[in-house]
Structure 1
Amino acid sequence: MSALACLRVVVRSEQANLSEAMFSALVAKFTSAFLEVRWSWPRKFSALNPYAFLLSDPTASELDTAELGRLSAELHAHLFGVTDDESAKVIVLLFEGEDAAMAKFAELSDGELERAMVEPAAAPEGGRLSRIAIDGTRLQVPPPEGSNPAEAEDEVRPRRRPAPPRDREPNVEGLQGIYYAARQIFVGDVISSTPGESRTRYSLVDGEEHLPPEAAAFDADCVIAAMAFLAESQADTPLYLPVSFSTLLRPSTRAAYAEILSILPHSERRRLSAAVYDVPRAPSFQALKQLHSALDEHFSAIDLRTRDPAFEIEQLNPEAVTSVTLVLPQAEPERRLIVLRRFLSKIDAYKRRRIWPALTNVRHQRELDLALEARLPFVTGPAVCRLQSKPMGGRSWPVDQLPVPSMAETLQKASA
């Protein structure tokens, strides 16, 4: 028998400086994008209204809520930033029961929901109400009379897999600047987002070992991070968001990407660029057509990132994309220089196609010097700019003072 439940997101629009229509649309888009990534097939979901979603799992008799724990924390950070203000708290409720009862629950007003959380009789008959804690456990709502919270929590702990730690760290979100050597200025930033519990920091500009194990989840987290950076900075320089080439073009995951990208406001399109990674040596015309179809609505520029210095630029139409970036390999310094020289040998072909060539994962001074000598316009990597908490785009920086230290390094130096 398929497990069914109604998910409700409880958060008030007056807590944010947005209209009710814009606020509800933002909650709906974010929650849908979150579920697309984490409520994986064969499980399904459908939106009942901006704040209510019907969840199903045909393989279980009871829903596994482990992944749902992150929704409240991530939605809270997305809407309000990081704050200790309890009044801005996002609550995720789950109602399981008869179809008619779930339909009634989906339409409860904020006031009716508040009463249902303290008075059992206020919830629709024929169902069970629980709250999803940040670690994915179910907490009975309201708690059983005479029980303590720990006992109530033990009774409703997820069964199929262990829940994440209760003290899960928030994602580490940051940016790394894109340097335009001809003018010695940063002209944009590449966004990254790393789960707090990860031992490896995820990044598109620091080489293969920093690529995420789950591309779709990483890309979705970076979309969420981009929303905060767009709100915090009014700079006109672009923010580059990671987009996995193979995951985006796979039919089974293309719809999920469409939902994720729909969060991005169209009014900010000019400030957003797509950094499409893991691109093969010779992407087909059909693949590039599908890429543009999926991305043009949201991004003003498309950068293709490839690990192959022999990328077949001659096969691309003029201005088929904005730029192509070579990712230097994880190899000995001499091998990296050989790969770079091979890429630089084709610069004239890039000029003929009116497509910018660029370089990332720059780690050594010799690599930077060779790129500057060849007048390669754009460079990124640990030898250029380390992780920042604010965009570098628009800031002048002398080439002889690269790399820009990370915020942690700057603070450590100041306290020394």
Structure 2
Amino acid sequence: MTAVACLRVAVEADRTGIPAATLGPLVAKFASAYLESRWLWPRKFAPLTHYSFLLTDPGSDEMNVEELARLSDELQIKLFGEAEDGEVGLLLFEGPPEAVTAFAALDAATVARAMTDPSLLPPGGRLSRIETAEQTAARTAKEAPPPPSKVSRPSGPGWVEQHVMIGQDPMADAAALLKQALPQLVGLQGIYFTPRGLFVGDVVSSTPGTARTHLTLVEGADHMPREPEAFDRDCVEAALGYLEPPGVTGMLYLPICYSNIIRSSSRADYETMLQTLPSDLRPQLAAAVYDVPRDPAFTALRQLRTTLERYFIKIDLRTPDPGFEVEKLPHEAVTSVTLVLPEGDTRTRLVALRRFAERLTLFKQKRIWAAVTNVRSRTELDACIGFSIPFVTGPAICRLQTEPVGGRMQDIRALPVLAA
């Protein structure tokens, strides 16, 4: 069984301030980027128009509506910012492929009328909308919420589901959903040791429900935290949950902002935060220090190490600069240095990777491991292997997981590990 649906984006175009000729491509761009990161293989998507997408989910007879909810939130912020001067809504039409394709071709006015007159819908399909905050609040008040990722769907050709909209104006009701904070998204992404085909640990991440996209250290600038101290604190709290019995097999890497940990005004807050980590589990904890400059000052590095080695057995410095001056570090000053591949096309990223790899001899002399993150494609992974980079992370290695993968053997041909 393969579920097939058309996801259609409804935008209050007259409130965006964006010309119609520009708005469509913008919606298509933002929605495609979201689906590429969330609607993961073996599920597939393809654009049908600027505002509609064909979704397929093998092995399922209906779509997971809740999994698509964040798209509305992200498009809202992209198009309208934080102001409440316009709304984005999502419609989902499920049915046979020919009906789904026909629905995608309907004009906006016909779709609006079809919400109250299902005879206008292509035969054999059903139309639903994303649930609103008001309905969620009503269920909470009754203390009888439905199971996650499950929506009651009446049967019958052309059925229009009204269980997901409670008002007369679809766009006004969609705004209610956007006002409700989504739950914290806690996750991990595995660190792969290429010589042995082994995941040696996981990088912890935690994303607020209000964030536009998931936050993580391993997927580049678009996914880096805008509020580092809050992000780091959330990740420490998330790690505590994973450390509870039965615990984890591999290492847990916790994000630590470089500028915050070396600045005296914020270091005390970090020490208070880190003191919550169980000291007896220090052998399983590593610090992933991000936004490290090309040539960190000796005194700053010494302060960093003095602070962090009380809580972590390993320290990793993460830098966007392929010319990081590892030769200036003392022997074994840190455990590893990780290059964050830059934004740009494949050639730009491979040039940076090659430049970093040319310095591997210096890493060996200093007895410091080299690693690369934000690896996005098989081409980049193959290049890392060809350059003898021992540790790699990124969406081409491991997608966001809810459970650790550290300690797991994995054939490199089976990468990436997809979302759990």
TM-score by length of 1: 0.57
Residue among 229, 247, 257 paired with 1:244: 257
How much does 1:169 deviate? Answer: 2.7
1:280 partnered with 2:280 = no
Indicate the residue corresponding to 2:79 in structure 1.
Answer: none
Aligned counterpart, 1:374: 387
From 263, 272, 278, the equivalent of 2:276 is 263
Q: Give the alignment partner of residue 358 of structure 1, picking from 371, 395, 400.
A: 371
1:191 equivalent to 2:204? Answer yes
* CA deviation map 1:87-113 (0-9, x unaligned): xxxxxxxxxxxxxxxxxxxxxxxxxxx
CA distance in 2, matches of 1:233, 1:280: 37
Q: 1:341 aligns with which of 341, 344, 354?
A: 354
Letter in 2 for 1:218: F
3-state SS of paired residue (1:193)? strand
Alpha-carbon separation, structure 2, partners of 1:326 and 1:316: 16
State how 1:90-109 maps to structure 2 within 5 Å.
Answer: none
What RMSD, in angstroms, separates the aligned Cα atoms of the two structures?
1.6
Distance 1:197-1:233 versus aligned 2 partners, 3 A rule: farther
Quote how far apart the aligned CAs of 1:374 are: 1.7
Give the SS at the match of 2:244: helix
Q: How does 1:271-310 map to 2 (within 5 A)?
A: 271-310=284-323
Amino acid at match of 1:174: G
- Per-residue CA shift, 1:333-365, capped at 9, x if unaligned? 100000000000000110111000000000011
1:178 lines up with 2:191 in the alignment:
yes
User: 1:325, 1:305 → 2: CA distance?
Assistant: 5
Alpha-carbon offset, residue 172 of structure 1: 0.4
Question: CA separation in 2, counterparts of 1:232 and 1:266?
Answer: 15
1:169 matched to 2:182: yes
Letter in 1 for 2:224: L
Match of 1:27 in 2: none
Contact 1:275 1:304 in 2 (8 A): yes
**Is residue 193–residue 199 contact of structure 2 (8 Å, CA) maintained in 1?**
yes
Q: Alignment length, in residue pairs?
A: 245
Taking the aligned partners of 1:229 and 1:359, their CA distance within structure 2 comes to 25
Aligned-pair distance for 1:231?
0.8
In structure 1, the partner of 2:175 is none
Q: Among 319, 326, 332, which residue is 2:345 paired with?
A: 332
- Is 1:400 the counterpart of 2:413? The answer is yes
User: 1:236 Cα shift?
Assistant: 3.6
More divergent stretch after superposition (232-241 vs 273-282): 232-241
Between the aligned partners of 1:198 and 1:350, the Cα distance in structure 2 is 37
The 3-state SS of whatever aligns with 1:375 is coil
1:331 shift after superposition: 0.8
Shift of the 308–233 alpha-carbon distance from structure 1 to 2, 3 Å rule, reads farther
- How far does residue 234 in structure 1 lie from its aligned partner after superposition? 3.0
Structure 1: distance between partners of 2:299 and 2:233: 25
Determine if the alignment matches structure 1 residue 209 to structure 2 residue 222.
yes
Structure 1 residue 292, shift from structure 2 partner: 1.1
Deviations 1:157-216 (A, max 9, x none): xxxxxxxx9853321000000001111110000000000121111000000111110000
Matches of 1:329 and 1:260, distance apart in 2: 30
Matched letter for residue 272 of structure 1: L
For 1:276, what is the secondary structure of its paired residue? strand
Rounded to whole Å, the distance in 1 between the matches of 2:230 and 2:279 is: 22
CA offset at residue 290 of structure 1? 0.6
Cα displacement (A) at 1:220: 0.2
**Judging changes above 3 Å, is the alpha-carbon distance between structure 1 residues 233 and 360 closer, same or farther for their aligned structure 2 residues?**
farther
Q: What stretches of structure 2 of length at least 5 have no aligned partner?
A: 1-139, 141-177
Residues 40-86 of structure 1: CA deviation (Å, up to 9, x unaligned): xxxxxxxxxxxxxxxxxxxxxxxxxxxxxxxxxxxxxxxxxxxx9xx
CA distance in 2, matches of 1:213, 1:362: 21
Are 2:404 and 1:391 equivalent residues in the alignment? Answer: yes
Gapped runs of 5+ residues in structure 1? 1-83, 85-164, 408-416
TM-score, normalising length: structure 2: 0.57
Cα separation, 2, equivalents of 1:266 and 1:233: 17
CA separation of 1:284/1:256 partners in 2, compared to 1, >3 Å: closer, same or farther? same
Q: Percent identical across equivalent pairs? A: 51
Letter of the 1:254 counterpart = R
Separation (CA, whole Å) in 2 of partners of 1:272 and 1:285: 24
